[in-house]
Structure 1
Amino acid sequence: MNRSAPILCTVLAVAALAACSKRDAPPAAPPASSASTAQAAPADAGIAWVRAASDAEVDAAFARARSEGKPVFVYWGAKWCPPCNQLQATLFNRQDFIERSRAFVPVYVDGDKPGAQKLGTRFAVRGYPTMVVFDRGGQELTRLPGEVDAQQYNEVLTLSMSAQRSAKAVLAQARAGGQGLVEADWRLLAYYSWETDQQQLAGAGGVAALLRELAQACPAAHADSAMRLRLKALAVADSQAGPVAGAAAQRAPVLALLADAAQSRRHMDVLTNSAAGLASALSAAGSAERKSLLAAFDGALVRLQADASLSRADRLMALVARVQLAQLDAPGKDKSAATPAALRAEVRDMAVRFDREITDGYERQAVITTAAWALEQAGLMEDSDALLKANLAKSHSPYYLMADLADNAKKRGDKAAALDWNAQAFDKSEGPATRLQWGARYLGMLIELAPQDAQRVERAAAQLFDEAAAMPDAFEARSGRSLQRIGGHLSGWAKGGAHGDAMKRLQRQLDEVCAKLPAGESRRLCDGVLKPGSSA
């Protein structure tokens, strides 16, 4: 989990991705849920999901797709993930999406089902949520963004389902000069989920260089696609390197976008999630250009923050972007003091109001975590703690909130509280992949804040290795990366020969786990967990 990213479990951030609903296309009736209960009724009951956790189940879904002549929509998610809950609350429960789902075979892979992490490796997915569209023959067509609003999502979904060629094939033609490409082709690239690409299209060169290339190549006649590619390219620029080349020429169209309510609404996901990065790419700190750009941004973000057609999570992200822009040029690591008092009051008021208004369990998981982060970003740490604690009993995944409480305590310098909340979060976490992820986080903080407590460190690591031994896919996808982080934490703890006896016991325990694995990549990764450099 990365509190410094927007409402994203991607790593991507993922960046980090939220969908939103619109008034003019109302969702189906929300699931019955009380603000005082931790249970969330299924929001996607109308979708005939194929719930898959094995190759055989996925293969059966593709066989069905071939026989019915339908594409396949794969959704990779997790119960605790805030943007996954956002999708449940604002997209998967919409009648128009439910009806559209009958035109494809919808496959849901819950990352915590036994064996599901192996599917993560098969589909090259890392962060939750990731959504991939395949043709009936099993070829990947595209990856869908989860952060655009629901109506726009349906537009992109329609485009993807009707695509005659994959995004990979369209990209190759774009890079070869683009002759013959039509608006639909450029839209397929502009609305591709670059945050969850995992080098499927970008390759070794990386997303940043590729997006710059596409932004320059997209014809101005395809205005919407050209603007989105420009924004995406600017958003991934190195914020420490100063303004990008040609910043002055690129500033004018962005300023025009910010002044246009309809256009800024259409690209609200990039504007809210990447405001500080865009400002850094287009202007130098302290310059007159920076000042005018920040004023234009604030005006656009104020509109988005007040836009009732946006989801609560998206409106909160507009407010978070305003806070981040206010702190952009502030010195030091803790920039919260640079937040104007009036802006702090807006953050506090919106958090309180949304907490009071929400009745849907999925929306609560998405919004409260974002609101608590917004409060922390604005320097309202006590308010953030109070909001999180008040929602522990209302959340279906309270361990996520506990981890946020641990982060807050650590930032305050309260080591004991940070470790206690992290221990509780690990203890309450559910699902094998999630427990390894939360366990890696707990072990890392334990080694950072209390490295002298060797018994506690060894006990936690031994428990994680025991749990990994019981998993059929412990060294696949996210779980494999969690175990590599665990190994990294322990190797750092034992640097210079410290804690030699404990490390020998842990190595023997891990050797027993590895010995039971068949020869191959998983065995190689297992053997390298406590031997940095031997596993990639």
Structure 2
Amino acid sequence: MRPGLRGLMAAGVLAASLGLPGLPAQAANPPATSSVAWLEASAQADIDRAFAQGKGENKPVLVYWGAKWCPPCNQLKATLFNRQDFIERSRSFVAVHIDGDAPGAQKLGAHFKVRGYPTLILFSPQGQEITRLPGEAEPTQVMNLLQQGLAGGRPIKAVLADARSGKAVNANEWRTLAFYSWDTDEAQLVPAAERAALLGRLAAACPPAEADSATRLLLKALAATEPGQPVPGGAATEPRVRQLLADAAASRRQMDVLVNYAPDIARALAPKAGPAQTALVQATDAALARLQGDATLSRGDQFSALSARVDLARLDQPEDSLHPKLPKPLVQEVKTLAGRMDREITDGFERQAVITGAAHTLASAGLWQDSNALLEANLAKSHSPYYLMSQLGGNARRLGDKPGALRWYGQAWDKSVGPATRLQWGANYVSALVELAPQDEGSIEKTAGKVLAEASAQDGAFYERSARSLQKVGSQLAKWSSQGHHQAVIGRLQAQLAPVCAKLPAADGQKATCDGLFKG
């Protein structure tokens, strides 16, 4: 899948009916009479209290890490966290919310080894990680895994060790492996380079009675397969996937994987253009079209399926093509469905999730004016308009409108809210200035200096996402000055940063990040 869409729409698949097949999308979220009693955590002491409560009450602990602006996080709020069955079930576990913009949140992110928003991690009452789920997992699976935690599910590391060694693994544990967030594993269970091979072996080892788990593991193995790597499962895999695509019920059960990884799966099975690839793409497109029209899915799910169809249609076209060659009916579907979503959505969380993805897909389909118009029309409707401003900046950048891109990136940073968010948006603006206006020393120094000043006023600015934002600033400036130019600017910025780094204790993990910021 092309960069960006998975981050925008990953949680779209979370809105499938929660054990209520046939329920139309408009009725999928009954009004909540109460809410989840989230424990807000911004420091280690908060986490310690939550886990002490879990142990004392013999309850699992569910940690949710997210941010206000994040589209998949908003989809969770619109489709899962407000459901009565989830709210009622939440009384059986300790629910912990870490807002990425809380003062100590990024340090907690490092503690839990989480990077992407949103991440859901389920722990046993004793504090062992049972599993982690990315935003794209279906609510039914979230509920099943929570139930498994309530019933004493084993830690994921123990389950994987037994599966790899051929020891007995029960049906629930195979499902845990199949639905584990391998994309956000952060090399805890397996290095990323070894993931495809491991998932392929697990799929082969999965017993016949657990066919859905085996299929999911195989699909994820294909999605993780890099060019040149052997196809997991060998020659039997392609017809097996074709059979899945033709089966409406089976493909519906694997909906989130098919929607989020359709191009990756197709590329793994048929890497070269030709009849085989064309036939596979057509079969995949037909399955996605069914999902797009599935009234039991949310608007986000349906648009995610359409987005995947656009990605498939672009499979062998240049990734940077501004006006790809797509079937006219498909382009019209994108335009029509985006307009319908804009008219129908009334919930602010759902709007932040779906409209941002729709705008991305409009651009991917070459409908740049429509994408810009949708984003601009929704600025006043969004609780986090700076996210949409960044998309407008990205559109302008792709179209070669440098002044427009810098204007939107600057506005996005100016309007952004929250310490970690402001560092991230500030880093994006610095990056845009360096790329689009490298001669404008004054603006680059002024913006970078402001970002560093904000970082110096924050505790934990050199942890996790905030650290990566600052490292982005440092690497961009190092590249900008690599030919010996702008040394005076770099010197002044280094002098500004030096006392900040000096105050950090030698044993603090932040110090190395701070000291190495301008070393490229």
Q: What range describes the TM-score normalised by the shorter chain of this pair? A: over 0.9
Map of 1:269 onto structure 2: 256
Tell whether 2:382 aligns with 1:395.
Answer: yes
The letter of the residue matching 1:21 is A
Give the direction of change, closer, same or farther, for the CA distance of 1:327–1:510 in structure 2 (3 Å limit). same
- Out of 12, 19, 24, the residue aligned to residue 14 of structure 2 is 19
Moved more, 244-253 or 471-480: 244-253
Q: Distance in 1 between matches of 2:56 and 2:438?
A: 58
Aligned length: 513
Partners of 1:259 and 1:207 in 2: CA distance: 27
Deviates more, 1:221-230 or 1:163-172: 163-172
Residue 201, structure 1, aligned to residue 189, structure 2: yes
Say yes or no: does 1:508 pair with 2:495: yes
Q: Is residue 2:142 matched to residue 1:153? A: yes
The letter for the 1-side match of 2:47 is: V
Residue among 454, 459, 470 paired with 1:483: 470
1:215 to 203, 208, 222: 203
Match of 2:97 in 1: 108
Question: What is the CA–CA distance in structure 1 between the aligned matches of 2:234 and 2:2, rounded to whole Å?
Answer: 29
How many angstroms apart in 2 are the aligned matches of 1:461 and 1:152? Answer: 44
Alignment partner, residue 461 of structure 1: 448
In structure 2, C-alpha distance between the alignment counterparts of 1:510 and 1:17, rounded to whole Å: 41
Cα-to-partner distance string for 1:79-99 (whole Å, 9 max, x where unaligned): 000000000000000111001
- Aligned-partner Cα distance in 2 for 1:410–1:336: 15
Over 3 Å counting, the alpha-carbon distance change for 1:82 and 1:172 in structure 2 is same
From 74, 77, 95, give the equivalent of 2:66: 77
Percent sequence identity is 54
Q: CA deviation at 1:333?
A: 3.4
Q: How far 1:508 moved relative to its partner? A: 0.4
Correspondence for 2:513: 525
| Structure 1 residues 221 and 46, CA gap change in structure 2 (3 angstroms) | same
Q: Is 2:222 aligned against 1:234? A: yes
In structure 2, runs of 5+ residues without a counterpart are none
Task: Please report how far the alpha carbon of residue 187 of structure 1 lies from its aligned counterpart in structure 2 after TM superposition.
Answer: 0.8
CA contact (8 A) 2:291 2:302 kept: yes
Q: 1:45 to 1:460 in 2, by over 3 A?
A: farther
SS in 2 for 1:80: coil
Q: Which residue of 2 is the match for residue 142 of structure 1?
A: 131
Question: Structure 1 residue 20: deviation in Å?
Answer: 1.1
Contact between 2:200 and 2:233, CA under 8 Å: does it hold in 1? no
Choose the corresponding residue for 2:243, options 248, 256, 276. Answer: 256
Q: Does 1:451 align with 2:450?
A: no
Structure 1 range deviating more: 307-316 or 102-111: 307-316
Give the AA of the match of 1:459: K
What secondary structure is seen at the aligned counterpart in 2 of 1:58? helix
Choose from 366, 371, 375 the match for 1:379: 366
> 67-76 or 510-519: which moved more?
510-519
**2:286 is the counterpart of 1:299:** yes
Q: CA RMSD in A?
A: 2.0
Q: Does 1:285 align with 2:272?
A: yes
User: How far apart are 1:165 and its partner, in Å?
Assistant: 1.4
When residues 454 and 331 of structure 1 are mapped into structure 2, their CA distance, relative to the original with a 3 A threshold, is closer
Residue of structure 1 in register with 2:164 after alignment:
175
Verify: 1:68 aligned to 2:57, yes or no.
Answer: yes
Contact persistence 1:440–1:486 (CA under 8 A) = yes
Output the CA distance in 2 between the equivalents of 1:519 and 1:126. Answer: 24
How far has the Cα of 1:311 moved from its partner? 1.3
**CA contact under 8 A between 1:8 and 1:17: conserved in structure 2?**
no
Amino acid at match of 1:281: A
TM-superposed deviation, 1:168: 0.6
CA deviation digits over 1:338-361, x for unaligned, max 9?
A: 111111000000000000000000
Task: Quickly say closer, same or farther: Cα 1:502–1:313, change in 2 above 3 A.
Answer: same
After TM superposition, give the deviation of residue 335 of structure 1 in Å.
6.7
Deviation at 1:57, TM superposition (A): 0.8
Shift of 1:151: 2.6
- Describe the shift of the 1:44–1:315 C-alpha distance in structure 2 as closer, same or farther (beyond 3 A): farther
Deviations along 1:460-489, one digit per CA (max 9) or x if unpaired, are 110011000111110111111111111101
SS in 2 for 1:76: strand
- 1:323-334 correspondence to structure 2 within 5 Å: 323-331=310-318, 333-334=320-321
1:5 equivalenced with 2:4 (yes/no): yes
| Code of the aligned partner of 2:467 | G
Measure how far apart 1:148 and its partner are.
Answer: 2.8
Q: TM-score, normalised by structure 1?
A: 0.92
Counterpart position of 1:40 = none
Q: How has the CA–CA distance of structure 1 residues 204 and 299 changed in structure 2, closer, same or farther, with 3 Å as cutoff? A: closer
Instruction: Go from structure 1 to structure 2 and tell me whether the alpha carbon gap of 1:127 and 1:355 turns closer, same or farther (over 3 Å shift).
Output: same
**Displacement of 1:366:** 0.2
Q: Is the 8 A contact 1:6 1:16 kept in 2?
A: no
- The alignment partner of 1:142 has SS state of strand
Partner residue of 1:188?
A: 176
SS in 1 for 2:324: helix
What TM-score does the superposition give when structure 2 sets the normalisation length?
0.94
Residue pair 2:259, 2:288 contacting (<8 A) in 1 also? yes
Change (3 A) 1:469 1:341: same
CA distance in 2, matches of 1:3, 1:398: 23
Within 5 Å, give how 1:398-413 maps onto structure 2. 398-413=385-400
- Once the two structures are TM-superposed, the CA of residue 517 in structure 1 deviates from its matched residue by 1.6
User: In 1, Cα distance between the equivalents of 2:4 and 2:505?
Assistant: 38
Amino acid of the residue matched to residue 280 of structure 1? R
| Residues 231 and 332 of structure 1: CA distance in aligned 2, closer, same or farther (over 3 Å) | closer
Q: CA-to-partner distance for each residue in 1:480-528, whole Å, 9 max, x for gaps?
A: 1111111101101111221111111000000011122222221121111
Aligned to 1:432: 419
Deviates more, 1:223-232 or 1:322-331: 322-331
Q: Which residue of 2 aligns with 1:88?
A: 77
Question: CA shift at 1:217, angstroms?
Answer: 2.2
